[in-house]
Amino acid sequence: QQQVKQSPQSLIVQKGGISIINCAYENTAFDYFPWYQQFPGKGPALLIAIRPDVSEKKEGRFTISFNKSAKQFSLHIMDSQPGDSATYFCAASKGSNTGKLIFGQGTTLQVKP
C-alpha cells in the first residue's frame, strides 16, 4: 500500500524560477512531514519539515505548504538555482517518530542555467 504519493516524477525549471513538488498522504495518523534532498551517490539530507499544527513553514528559499483537510503538502523552492538540481523526497511518519519514515517515490529536479 502506497501511503505517500509524490508528483511530478521529474521537473525542469529555469534558473530563478519556482519549483513546486506535491505530495498526498492517506494515513490521517501521520503527524510529521519532512522533505529530503538527495544528490547522486549521497544519502538524503533533511531540507525542511512541518507538523500539522501549522499550514506553512519557510526556511530561506524553501517553503512547505500543508493542507490537513486535503491530506496534501508541497515543497516550493523559490529562485531555483542549478545547484538545487537533485532528487527530492517527501516523507511522513506517525507518533512524531522522526525515524520511521514513509517516503514518496521522489522527484528529479533539473534547474537549467
Partner 1 sequence: ETGVTQSPTHLIKTRGQQVTLRCSSQSGHNTVSWYQQALGQGPQFIFQYYREEENGRGNFPPRFSGLQFPNYSSELNVNALELDDSALYLCASSLGTSGNEQYFGPGTRLTVT
Residue 93 C-beta: closest distance to partner 1, Å:
9
β-sheet bridge partners, residue 11: 109
Q: How far is the CB of 95 from partner 1 (least distance, A)?
A: 7
Nearer Cβ to partner 1, position 24 or 49?
49
Distance from the first to the final alpha carbon of the chain: 39
The closest alpha carbon to 109, from 2, 5, 4, 14, belongs to 14
Please, which residue, 63 or 107, has the CB nearer to partner 1? Answer: 107
CB 35 within 8 A of CB 90: yes
d(C-alpha 56, C-alpha 66), whole Å? 6
Nearer to partner 1, 17 or 31 (CB): 31
Q: How far is the CB of 81 from partner 1 (least distance, A)?
A: 23
Interaction site with partner 1 (CB under 8 A): 6, 32, 34, 36, 41-46, 49, 89, 91, 95-106
* C-beta of 19 vs 37, nearer to partner 1: 37
Minimum distance from residue 45 beta carbon to partner 1 (Å): 7
**β pairing state of 19-25 and 10-14:** unpaired
> How is residue 32 written as a grid cell?
510529521
